[in-house]
Homo-oligomer: A and B are copies of this chain.
Amino acid sequence: MPLFDVIAFDADDTLWHNESVYSATKKKLIDLLSSYESEHDVEQELDKREGKNLSVYGYGVKSFTLSMIETAIDYTNGKIRVDEIQQIIGFGKEMLFTEVQLFENVKETVSKLAESYTLMIITKGDLLDQEKKLSRSGIDKHFECVEIISEKDEEAYRKILLKYHIQPERFIMVGNSLRSDILPVVKIGGIAVYIPAKINWVLDAVKDEQWPLDGHYEIEHIGQLPALIENLNG
């Protein structure tokens, strides 16, 4: 009998490319603002603004769009033109329409695991945007439950496990964020599988001392997940 009931996946940068979409949009903003003189760095200013807005707006593309507009106004000392602000709004909308690009091995792995386990998605971000991405991904049929939440901390995971009557030790969380997918899950007694992403979001970093020493596994890509779970099952 398998040791686990539920395998939950983070979505952005675990199942599909996301940070690359943000990076490409940041580049567009940098290009747009390149004709303005400033002693500041666009990317740094944007990161700062995003960090500041996080507790007000939450995660996702709409927050990012509003942060881009504010950054552009500040960066240009209010000299940015209105048609350029309109372009920034357009950058945001393009993000929402970007094709969902699954990582390699995702399709096969998810479909294989769905044969033996209940699969779940636990993700942050804009409600509608995440739902649409999942539906466009073509793998939505494999996930029995989808939880889009505002923060992935211990309390949030505890609530989800309670809601679905899942024992922490029978719960696996797979994700690319130490702060959101690994640390809190290890702390509540679950099993966490870390798949580092190539590009990481600067605001999602964890401090060294918070690094979980035990209770989590690391693999290079999602294709290695079925073998890892088989091993854990003994």
A residues near B (Cβ < 8 Å) are 56-59, 62-63, 65-66, 69-70, 73, 78-83, 85-86, 89, 92-93, 96-97, 126-129, 131, 145, 148-150, 163
Please indicate the chain B residues that have their CB under 8 angstroms from the CB of A66 in the complex. 62, 65-66, 89, 92
Give 4 closest A-B pairs by Cβ, nearest first. Answer: A58-B128, A62-B62, A128-B150, A127-B150
State whether B57 touches A70 (Cβ < 8 A).
Answer: no
Complex interface: chain B residues within 8 A of A129 (CB): 58
Q: Is the CB of B163 within 8 A of A145?
A: yes
Distance between Cα atoms of A86 and B145 in the complex (Å): 40
Q: Which residues of B contact A73 (CB under 8 A)?
A: 82, 85-86
Expressed in whole angstroms, the minimum distance between the Cβ of A88 and any Cβ of chain B is 10
Check if B80 sits within 8 Å of A82, measured CB to CB: yes
| Pairwise interchain contact B56-A69, C-beta atoms closer than 8 A | no
Q: Pick the contact of A93: B56, B83, B145, B150 (CB < 8 A).
A: B56
Partner of A58, one of B81, B92, B126, B150: B126
Q: Which residues of B contact A82 (CB under 8 A)?
A: 73, 78-82, 85
Shortest CB distance A161–B (Å):
14
CA distance A56 to B92 in the complex (A): 10
A56-B93, A66-B89 are known contacts; what are 5 more A-B pairs with Cβ within 8 Å? A57-B128, A65-B66, A73-B85, A85-B85, A127-B148
Residues of the B chain whose Cβ atoms lie less than 8 Å from the Cβ of A163: 145, 163
The chain B residue with its CB closest to the CB of A78 is B82
- Given contacts A58-B126, A63-B62, A127-B148, whether A69 and B96 have CB atoms under 8 Å apart is no
| Inter-chain contact B58/A85, CB cutoff 8 Å | no
Bound: A83/B80 CA distance, A: 10
Closest beta carbon of chain B to A82's beta carbon, Å: 5
List B contacts of A80 (CB < 8 A). 82
In the complex, chain B residues whose CB is within 8 Å of the CB of A58: 126-129
Nearest opposing residue in chain B for A146, CB measure:
B159
| A85 / chain B contacts, CB cutoff of 8 Å | 69, 73, 82, 85
Distance, CA A129 to CA B55, complexed state (A): 10
Would A89 and B70 count as touching, CB distance under 8 A?
yes
Complex CA gap A117/B63 in Å reads 37
